[in-house]
Structure 1
Amino acid sequence: MSDPRLALDLALTIRHDGRGGVADDLDTLDGLTHWVHERRGLFGDASGGESWTADEQGLEAVRSLRAAVRALFAYAVRPGEPSSADAGRLLPFEEALGRLNAAAAAVPTVPRLDWAQDRDPVAHDHSADGTAEGNALPAALARAAIGFLAGPDRTALRACHAPRCVRYFIKEHHRQEWCKPSCGNRARVARHHERHRTT
Protein backbone atom coordinates (compact mmCIF):
# COMPACT_ATOMS: atom_id res chain seq x y z
CA MET A 1 0.00 0.00 0.00
CA SER A 2 1.24 3.47 -0.82
CA ASP A 3 2.55 5.47 2.09
CA PRO A 4 0.47 8.66 2.64
CA ARG A 5 3.74 10.58 3.23
CA LEU A 6 4.35 10.29 -0.50
CA ALA A 7 1.62 12.88 -1.09
CA LEU A 8 3.48 15.50 0.93
CA ASP A 9 6.78 14.45 -0.66
CA LEU A 10 5.23 14.90 -4.09
CA ALA A 11 3.95 18.38 -3.22
CA LEU A 12 7.39 19.34 -1.90
CA THR A 13 9.04 18.74 -5.26
CA ILE A 14 8.09 22.40 -5.85
CA ARG A 15 10.37 24.40 -3.58
CA HIS A 16 12.24 27.67 -3.11
CA ASP A 17 15.42 27.60 -5.19
CA GLY A 18 17.55 29.60 -2.72
CA ARG A 19 17.83 32.54 -5.14
CA GLY A 20 14.37 34.03 -4.89
CA GLY A 21 12.64 31.75 -7.38
CA VAL A 22 10.93 28.38 -7.45
CA ALA A 23 12.65 25.09 -8.29
CA ASP A 24 10.99 21.98 -9.65
CA ASP A 25 12.64 18.69 -8.67
CA LEU A 26 10.59 16.95 -11.36
CA ASP A 27 11.54 19.15 -14.29
CA THR A 28 13.49 16.36 -16.05
CA LEU A 29 13.34 12.60 -16.52
CA ASP A 30 16.46 12.29 -14.36
CA GLY A 31 14.78 14.35 -11.65
CA LEU A 32 11.80 12.00 -11.47
CA THR A 33 14.02 8.92 -11.65
CA HIS A 34 16.16 10.19 -8.77
CA TRP A 35 13.11 11.19 -6.70
CA VAL A 36 11.54 7.74 -7.09
CA HIS A 37 14.78 5.91 -6.30
CA GLU A 38 15.19 7.93 -3.09
CA ARG A 39 11.75 6.68 -1.96
CA ARG A 40 11.79 3.17 -3.36
CA GLY A 41 10.68 1.53 -0.11
CA LEU A 42 7.52 3.65 0.03
CA PHE A 43 6.18 2.58 -3.36
CA GLY A 44 5.94 -1.20 -3.13
CA ASP A 45 6.09 -2.56 -6.68
CA ALA A 46 4.95 0.69 -8.32
CA SER A 47 8.52 1.91 -8.91
CA GLY A 48 9.41 -1.17 -10.93
CA GLY A 49 12.71 -2.13 -9.32
CA GLU A 50 16.20 -0.68 -9.16
CA SER A 51 16.56 -0.32 -12.91
CA TRP A 52 13.41 1.81 -13.24
CA THR A 53 13.81 5.05 -15.18
CA ALA A 54 11.24 7.70 -15.94
CA ASP A 55 9.83 8.22 -19.41
CA GLU A 56 8.09 11.30 -20.84
CA GLN A 57 4.59 9.89 -20.37
CA GLY A 58 5.28 9.03 -16.73
CA LEU A 59 6.84 12.42 -16.05
CA GLU A 60 3.85 14.21 -17.56
CA ALA A 61 1.43 12.03 -15.54
CA VAL A 62 3.26 12.64 -12.25
CA ARG A 63 3.51 16.39 -12.85
CA SER A 64 -0.21 16.52 -13.73
CA LEU A 65 -1.02 14.61 -10.55
CA ARG A 66 1.22 16.94 -8.51
CA ALA A 67 -0.76 19.95 -9.77
CA ALA A 68 -3.94 18.23 -8.57
CA VAL A 69 -2.42 17.37 -5.19
CA ARG A 70 -1.18 20.91 -4.62
CA ALA A 71 -4.62 22.29 -5.56
CA LEU A 72 -6.28 19.94 -3.08
CA PHE A 73 -3.69 20.86 -0.45
CA ALA A 74 -4.56 24.53 -1.03
CA TYR A 75 -8.20 23.64 -0.50
CA ALA A 76 -7.33 21.64 2.65
CA VAL A 77 -5.50 24.54 4.36
CA ARG A 78 -8.49 26.90 4.03
CA PRO A 79 -9.31 29.33 5.50
CA GLY A 80 -5.54 29.85 5.46
CA GLU A 81 -3.83 30.99 2.29
CA PRO A 82 -2.31 28.42 -0.10
CA SER A 83 1.37 28.27 -0.90
CA SER A 84 2.49 31.35 -2.81
CA ALA A 85 3.60 29.05 -5.66
CA ASP A 86 -0.02 27.97 -6.13
CA ALA A 87 -2.01 31.09 -5.36
CA GLY A 88 -2.32 32.30 -8.94
CA ARG A 89 -2.51 29.02 -10.83
CA LEU A 90 -4.57 26.51 -8.92
CA LEU A 91 -6.60 23.91 -10.77
CA PRO A 92 -10.31 24.20 -10.08
CA PHE A 93 -11.29 21.94 -7.19
CA GLU A 94 -13.46 19.54 -9.22
CA GLU A 95 -10.78 19.15 -11.90
CA ALA A 96 -8.11 18.42 -9.28
CA LEU A 97 -10.35 15.88 -7.57
CA GLY A 98 -11.17 14.23 -10.89
CA ARG A 99 -7.48 13.97 -11.84
CA LEU A 100 -6.61 12.41 -8.51
CA ASN A 101 -9.39 9.84 -8.64
CA ALA A 102 -8.71 8.97 -12.29
CA ALA A 103 -5.01 8.39 -11.59
CA ALA A 104 -5.83 6.16 -8.61
CA ALA A 105 -8.28 4.10 -10.68
CA ALA A 106 -5.90 3.60 -13.63
CA VAL A 107 -4.35 0.49 -12.09
CA PRO A 108 -6.63 -1.93 -10.25
CA THR A 109 -4.73 -3.34 -7.29
CA VAL A 110 -4.87 -6.12 -4.77
CA PRO A 111 -3.04 -6.18 -1.46
CA ARG A 112 -0.20 -8.65 -1.01
CA LEU A 113 1.58 -9.49 2.22
CA ASP A 114 5.38 -9.68 2.08
CA TRP A 115 7.03 -11.21 5.10
CA ALA A 116 10.74 -11.93 5.24
CA GLN A 117 11.51 -14.30 8.11
CA ASP A 118 13.75 -11.81 9.89
CA ARG A 119 11.48 -8.76 9.41
CA ASP A 120 7.98 -7.55 10.19
CA PRO A 121 5.25 -8.25 7.62
CA VAL A 122 4.52 -5.47 5.14
CA ALA A 123 1.44 -5.02 2.92
CA HIS A 124 1.95 -3.77 -0.63
CA ASP A 125 -0.48 -3.01 -3.43
CA HIS A 126 0.13 -5.02 -6.59
CA SER A 127 -1.45 -4.68 -9.99
CA ALA A 128 -4.48 -6.95 -10.09
CA ASP A 129 -3.99 -7.88 -13.73
CA GLY A 130 -0.30 -7.23 -14.37
CA THR A 131 -1.08 -4.54 -16.97
CA ALA A 132 -0.81 -0.77 -17.15
CA GLU A 133 2.76 -0.70 -15.88
CA GLY A 134 3.22 2.90 -17.06
CA ASN A 135 0.34 4.01 -14.85
CA ALA A 136 1.58 2.23 -11.71
CA LEU A 137 3.61 5.15 -10.33
CA PRO A 138 0.94 7.86 -10.75
CA ALA A 139 -1.68 5.43 -9.40
CA ALA A 140 0.43 4.72 -6.30
CA LEU A 141 0.98 8.44 -5.75
CA ALA A 142 -2.73 9.15 -6.21
CA ARG A 143 -3.66 6.47 -3.67
CA ALA A 144 -1.12 7.96 -1.25
CA ALA A 145 -2.70 11.39 -1.73
CA ILE A 146 -6.17 9.95 -1.13
CA GLY A 147 -4.90 8.30 2.06
CA PHE A 148 -3.32 11.56 3.19
CA LEU A 149 -6.30 13.78 2.41
CA ALA A 150 -8.76 11.36 4.02
CA GLY A 151 -6.49 10.77 7.02
CA PRO A 152 -5.71 12.64 10.23
CA ASP A 153 -2.72 14.59 8.88
CA ARG A 154 -4.94 16.67 6.56
CA THR A 155 -6.20 18.77 9.47
CA ALA A 156 -2.61 19.60 10.46
CA LEU A 157 -1.58 20.55 6.91
CA ARG A 158 -0.38 24.16 6.53
CA ALA A 159 1.24 26.30 3.86
CA CYS A 160 4.48 27.94 4.96
CA HIS A 161 4.29 31.70 4.52
CA ALA A 162 7.88 32.58 5.29
CA PRO A 163 9.40 34.86 2.65
CA ARG A 164 10.10 32.94 -0.57
CA CYS A 165 8.89 29.58 0.84
CA VAL A 166 6.38 27.61 -1.24
CA ARG A 167 6.18 24.44 0.85
CA TYR A 168 3.34 22.70 2.64
CA PHE A 169 4.02 21.04 6.00
CA ILE A 170 2.39 19.12 8.82
CA LYS A 171 1.97 21.28 11.91
CA GLU A 172 3.40 19.13 14.68
CA HIS A 173 3.24 21.65 17.55
CA HIS A 174 0.57 24.23 18.34
CA ARG A 175 3.12 27.08 18.09
CA GLN A 176 4.66 25.92 14.81
CA GLU A 177 4.20 28.53 12.08
CA TRP A 178 6.79 27.52 9.47
CA CYS A 179 7.92 24.36 7.75
CA LYS A 180 11.46 24.49 9.15
CA PRO A 181 13.59 26.68 11.44
CA SER A 182 15.32 28.48 8.55
CA CYS A 183 11.92 29.70 7.35
CA GLY A 184 11.14 30.97 10.84
CA ASN A 185 14.43 32.86 10.87
CA ARG A 186 13.69 34.44 7.46
CA ALA A 187 10.22 35.46 8.62
CA ARG A 188 11.58 37.08 11.80
CA VAL A 189 14.29 38.94 9.88
CA ALA A 190 11.72 40.17 7.35
CA ARG A 191 9.42 41.40 10.14
CA HIS A 192 12.37 43.13 11.84
CA HIS A 193 13.34 44.93 8.62
CA GLU A 194 9.73 45.90 7.96
CA ARG A 195 9.35 47.39 11.47
CA HIS A 196 12.54 49.43 11.12
CA ARG A 197 11.65 50.61 7.62
CA THR A 198 8.30 51.99 8.79
CA THR A 199 9.65 53.73 11.91
Structure 2
Amino acid sequence: MSDTRLALDLALTVRHDGRGGVADDLGTPEGLTAWVRERPGLLGPGPETDVRAAGSASADAWKADEESLAAVRSLRAAVRALFAHAVRPGEPSSADARDLMPVSEALDRLNAAAEVVPTVSRLDWPDEGDPLVSHHPTGAPQREGALPAALARAVIGFLAGPDRAALRACHAPRCVRYFIKEHPRQEWCKPSCGNRARVARHHERHRPSHP
Protein backbone atom coordinates (compact mmCIF):
# COMPACT_ATOMS: atom_id res chain seq x y z
CA MET A 1 0.00 0.00 0.00
CA SER A 2 1.38 3.41 -0.97
CA ASP A 3 2.17 6.15 1.52
CA THR A 4 -0.54 8.30 -0.06
CA ARG A 5 -3.23 5.65 0.23
CA LEU A 6 -2.34 4.76 3.81
CA ALA A 7 -2.18 8.40 4.93
CA LEU A 8 -5.58 9.11 3.38
CA ASP A 9 -7.09 5.95 4.80
CA LEU A 10 -6.04 6.98 8.29
CA ALA A 11 -7.55 10.46 7.93
CA LEU A 12 -10.74 9.02 6.42
CA THR A 13 -11.53 6.92 9.46
CA VAL A 14 -13.40 10.11 10.39
CA ARG A 15 -16.37 10.13 8.03
CA HIS A 16 -19.98 11.20 7.57
CA ASP A 17 -22.39 8.85 9.32
CA GLY A 18 -25.15 9.17 6.73
CA ARG A 19 -27.47 10.94 9.16
CA GLY A 20 -25.97 14.41 9.34
CA GLY A 21 -23.24 13.66 11.87
CA VAL A 22 -19.70 12.31 11.95
CA ALA A 23 -18.73 8.68 12.55
CA ASP A 24 -15.41 7.34 13.81
CA ASP A 25 -14.20 3.99 12.49
CA LEU A 26 -11.57 3.96 15.25
CA GLY A 27 -13.92 4.46 18.16
CA THR A 28 -13.03 1.16 19.83
CA PRO A 29 -10.11 -1.30 19.89
CA GLU A 30 -12.27 -3.64 17.82
CA GLY A 31 -12.65 -0.92 15.18
CA LEU A 32 -8.89 -0.42 14.98
CA THR A 33 -8.32 -4.19 14.82
CA ALA A 34 -10.69 -4.47 11.86
CA TRP A 35 -9.11 -1.48 10.13
CA VAL A 36 -5.60 -2.92 10.44
CA ARG A 37 -6.67 -6.39 9.31
CA GLU A 38 -8.19 -4.87 6.17
CA ARG A 39 -4.68 -3.62 5.30
CA PRO A 40 -2.41 -6.68 5.42
CA GLY A 41 0.41 -4.79 3.75
CA LEU A 42 0.71 -2.66 6.87
CA LEU A 43 1.73 -5.69 8.92
CA GLY A 44 3.50 -7.68 6.25
CA PRO A 45 6.64 -7.33 4.14
CA GLY A 46 6.43 -4.89 1.28
CA PRO A 47 8.07 -1.82 -0.22
CA GLU A 48 6.54 0.47 2.41
CA THR A 49 6.91 -1.50 5.65
CA ASP A 50 8.66 -4.47 7.15
CA VAL A 51 6.77 -7.19 9.02
CA ARG A 52 8.76 -6.47 12.17
CA ALA A 53 7.84 -2.78 12.05
CA ALA A 54 4.32 -3.61 13.17
CA GLY A 55 5.32 -6.08 15.85
CA SER A 56 3.32 -8.97 14.41
CA ALA A 57 3.88 -11.69 11.85
CA SER A 58 0.31 -11.61 10.55
CA ALA A 59 -2.47 -9.09 10.15
CA ASP A 60 -4.91 -11.79 11.20
CA ALA A 61 -3.04 -12.26 14.49
CA TRP A 62 -2.84 -8.59 15.43
CA LYS A 63 -5.32 -7.24 17.96
CA ALA A 64 -5.63 -3.67 19.21
CA ASP A 65 -5.87 -2.70 22.86
CA GLU A 66 -6.74 0.59 24.52
CA GLU A 67 -3.12 1.75 24.46
CA SER A 68 -2.63 1.16 20.74
CA LEU A 69 -6.02 2.73 20.02
CA ALA A 70 -5.11 5.89 21.94
CA ALA A 71 -1.77 6.13 20.13
CA VAL A 72 -3.31 5.82 16.66
CA ARG A 73 -6.11 8.27 17.46
CA SER A 74 -3.55 10.75 18.77
CA LEU A 75 -1.57 10.39 15.56
CA ARG A 76 -4.71 10.79 13.46
CA ALA A 77 -5.52 14.10 15.14
CA ALA A 78 -2.08 15.35 14.12
CA VAL A 79 -2.53 14.06 10.59
CA ARG A 80 -5.85 15.81 10.12
CA ALA A 81 -4.36 19.07 11.40
CA LEU A 82 -1.54 18.75 8.88
CA PHE A 83 -3.99 17.90 6.10
CA ALA A 84 -5.91 21.06 6.96
CA HIS A 85 -2.63 22.98 6.71
CA ALA A 86 -1.82 21.32 3.38
CA VAL A 87 -5.06 22.32 1.64
CA ARG A 88 -4.69 26.04 2.38
CA PRO A 89 -5.90 28.47 1.14
CA GLY A 90 -8.82 26.09 0.75
CA GLU A 91 -11.01 25.31 3.74
CA PRO A 92 -10.32 22.16 5.79
CA SER A 93 -12.78 19.35 6.37
CA SER A 94 -15.76 20.52 8.37
CA ALA A 95 -15.46 17.49 10.67
CA ASP A 96 -12.87 19.11 12.90
CA ALA A 97 -12.18 22.55 11.43
CA ARG A 98 -12.92 24.24 14.77
CA ASP A 99 -10.81 21.88 16.86
CA LEU A 100 -7.49 21.51 15.04
CA MET A 101 -4.26 21.46 16.99
CA PRO A 102 -1.50 23.94 16.06
CA VAL A 103 0.70 22.84 13.17
CA SER A 104 3.83 22.88 15.35
CA GLU A 105 2.21 20.49 17.83
CA ALA A 106 0.99 18.25 15.02
CA LEU A 107 4.50 18.06 13.55
CA ASP A 108 6.01 17.22 16.94
CA ARG A 109 3.43 14.46 17.47
CA LEU A 110 3.96 13.00 13.99
CA ASN A 111 7.74 13.00 14.25
CA ALA A 112 7.67 11.55 17.76
CA ALA A 113 5.52 8.65 16.57
CA ALA A 114 7.85 7.93 13.66
CA GLU A 115 10.93 7.99 15.88
CA VAL A 116 9.68 5.25 18.22
CA VAL A 117 10.91 2.60 15.78
CA PRO A 118 14.10 3.80 14.06
CA THR A 119 14.52 2.39 10.58
CA VAL A 120 17.04 2.09 7.80
CA SER A 121 16.15 2.23 4.11
CA ARG A 122 16.96 -0.57 1.70
CA LEU A 123 16.93 -0.24 -2.10
CA ASP A 124 15.97 -3.23 -4.25
CA TRP A 125 15.97 -3.13 -8.04
CA PRO A 126 14.40 -6.10 -9.85
CA ASP A 127 15.73 -7.03 -13.28
CA GLU A 128 12.34 -6.17 -14.75
CA GLY A 129 10.90 -3.22 -12.91
CA ASP A 130 11.53 0.00 -11.04
CA PRO A 131 13.64 0.45 -7.93
CA LEU A 132 11.79 -0.23 -4.69
CA VAL A 133 12.54 1.21 -1.26
CA SER A 134 11.74 -0.76 1.89
CA HIS A 135 12.17 0.39 5.48
CA HIS A 136 13.53 -1.96 8.11
CA PRO A 137 13.65 -1.42 11.89
CA THR A 138 17.10 -1.18 13.38
CA GLY A 139 16.05 -3.02 16.52
CA ALA A 140 13.21 -5.00 18.02
CA PRO A 141 10.22 -2.63 18.21
CA GLN A 142 7.89 -2.34 21.15
CA ARG A 143 4.41 -3.49 20.23
CA GLU A 144 2.60 -0.36 21.41
CA GLY A 145 4.67 2.01 19.30
CA ALA A 146 5.18 -0.03 16.15
CA LEU A 147 1.85 0.58 14.44
CA PRO A 148 1.82 4.37 14.97
CA ALA A 149 5.44 4.48 13.78
CA ALA A 150 4.58 2.68 10.54
CA LEU A 151 1.60 4.97 9.98
CA ALA A 152 3.60 8.10 10.80
CA ARG A 153 6.30 7.18 8.30
CA ALA A 154 3.66 6.74 5.61
CA VAL A 155 2.17 10.15 6.43
CA ILE A 156 5.60 11.77 6.32
CA GLY A 157 6.24 10.15 2.95
CA PHE A 158 2.95 11.48 1.63
CA LEU A 159 3.31 15.02 2.99
CA ALA A 160 6.87 15.28 1.67
CA GLY A 161 5.94 13.84 -1.72
CA PRO A 162 4.31 15.17 -4.89
CA ASP A 163 0.78 13.98 -4.07
CA ARG A 164 0.43 16.51 -1.25
CA ALA A 165 -0.11 19.33 -3.75
CA ALA A 166 -3.25 17.56 -5.02
CA LEU A 167 -4.81 17.10 -1.57
CA ARG A 168 -8.25 18.68 -1.20
CA ALA A 169 -11.11 18.69 1.30
CA CYS A 170 -14.49 17.74 -0.13
CA HIS A 171 -17.13 20.34 0.70
CA ALA A 172 -20.16 18.62 -0.75
CA PRO A 173 -23.15 18.61 1.63
CA ARG A 174 -22.54 16.20 4.52
CA CYS A 175 -19.09 15.11 3.29
CA VAL A 176 -16.05 15.44 5.56
CA ARG A 177 -13.51 13.57 3.43
CA TYR A 178 -10.10 14.55 2.11
CA PHE A 179 -9.15 13.33 -1.37
CA ILE A 180 -6.50 13.54 -4.07
CA LYS A 181 -7.56 15.71 -7.01
CA GLU A 182 -6.89 13.54 -10.05
CA HIS A 183 -7.89 15.91 -12.88
CA PRO A 184 -8.20 19.70 -13.22
CA ARG A 185 -12.01 19.84 -13.15
CA GLN A 186 -12.48 17.56 -10.15
CA GLU A 187 -14.22 19.35 -7.27
CA TRP A 188 -15.53 16.46 -5.18
CA CYS A 189 -14.15 13.25 -3.72
CA LYS A 190 -16.62 11.03 -5.62
CA PRO A 191 -19.50 11.38 -8.10
CA SER A 192 -22.21 11.04 -5.45
CA CYS A 193 -20.82 14.10 -3.67
CA GLY A 194 -20.88 16.04 -6.92
CA ASN A 195 -24.53 15.07 -7.42
CA ARG A 196 -25.46 16.25 -3.91
CA ALA A 197 -23.60 19.52 -4.42
CA ARG A 198 -25.37 20.20 -7.71
CA VAL A 199 -28.78 19.43 -6.20
CA ALA A 200 -28.03 21.75 -3.26
CA ARG A 201 -26.98 24.54 -5.62
CA HIS A 202 -30.14 24.07 -7.69
CA HIS A 203 -32.35 24.28 -4.60
CA GLU A 204 -30.50 27.35 -3.40
CA ARG A 205 -30.94 29.12 -6.73
CA HIS A 206 -34.66 28.32 -6.86
CA ARG A 207 -35.47 28.90 -3.22
CA PRO A 208 -38.36 31.42 -2.92
CA SER A 209 -37.31 34.77 -1.58
CA HIS A 210 -39.33 36.35 1.20
CA PRO A 211 -39.79 40.10 1.62
TM-score, normalised to structure 2, is 0.86
Aligned to 2:46: none
What is the CA-CA distance between 1:129 and the residue it aligns to?
1.1
Q: 1:110 to 1:133 in 2, by over 3 A?
A: farther
What is the CA-CA distance between 1:126 and the residue it aligns to?
3.0
**In structure 2, how many angstroms separate the alpha carbons of the residues matched to 1:176 and 1:121?**
31
Within the alignment, does 1:137 sit opposite 2:147 as a pair? yes
1:179 to 153, 164, 189: 189
CA contact (8 A) 2:87 2:169 kept: yes
CA contact (8 A) 1:2 1:141 kept: no
Aligned to 1:151: 161
**In structure 2, how many angstroms separate the alpha carbons of the residues matched to 1:174 and 1:121?**
30
Q: How does 1:115-130 map to 2 (within 5 A)?
A: 123-130=133-140
Aligned to 1:7: 7
CA contact (8 A) 2:175 2:193 kept: yes
CA contact (8 A) 1:3 1:42 kept: no
SS at structure 2 position matched to 1:58: helix
Aligned to 2:203: 193
Q: How does 1:69-88 map to 2 (within 5 A)?
A: 69-88=79-98
**In structure 1, how many angstroms separate the alpha carbons of the residues matched to 2:206 and 2:131?**
58
With 105-114 and 187-196 compared, the bigger mean Cα shift is at 105-114
TM-score, normalised to structure 1, is 0.91
Return 5+ residue gaps in structure 2 as ranges: 44-48
Identity %: 75
SS at structure 2 position matched to 1:145: helix
What is the CA-CA distance between 1:122 and the residue it aligns to?
6.2
**In structure 2, how many angstroms separate the alpha carbons of the residues matched to 1:107 and 1:2?**
19
What is the CA-CA distance between 1:131 and the residue it aligns to?
3.0
Query: What residue identity is the alignment partner of 1:144?
Result: A
**In structure 2, how many angstroms separate the alpha carbons of the residues matched to 1:53 and 1:82?**
32
Aligned to 1:25: 25
Aligned to 2:39: 39
Q: Deviations over 1:141-172 (max 9, x none)?
A: 10000000000010000000001100000000
Return 5+ residue gaps in structure 1 as ranges: none
Two-structure CA RMSD over aligned residues (Å): 2.3
SS at structure 2 position matched to 1:4: helix
Within the alignment, does 1:103 sit opposite 2:113 as a pair? yes
What is the CA-CA distance between 1:125 and the residue it aligns to?
2.6
What is the CA-CA distance between 1:198 and the residue it aligns to?
4.3
What is the CA-CA distance between 1:127 and the residue it aligns to?
2.4
Q: Deviations over 1:43-77 (max 9, x none)?
A: 43244222000011110010000000000000000
**In structure 1, how many angstroms separate the alpha carbons of the residues matched to 2:135 and 2:117?**
10
Q: 1:150 to 1:123 in 2, by over 3 A?
A: closer
**In structure 1, how many angstroms separate the alpha carbons of the residues matched to 2:26 and 2:39?**
14
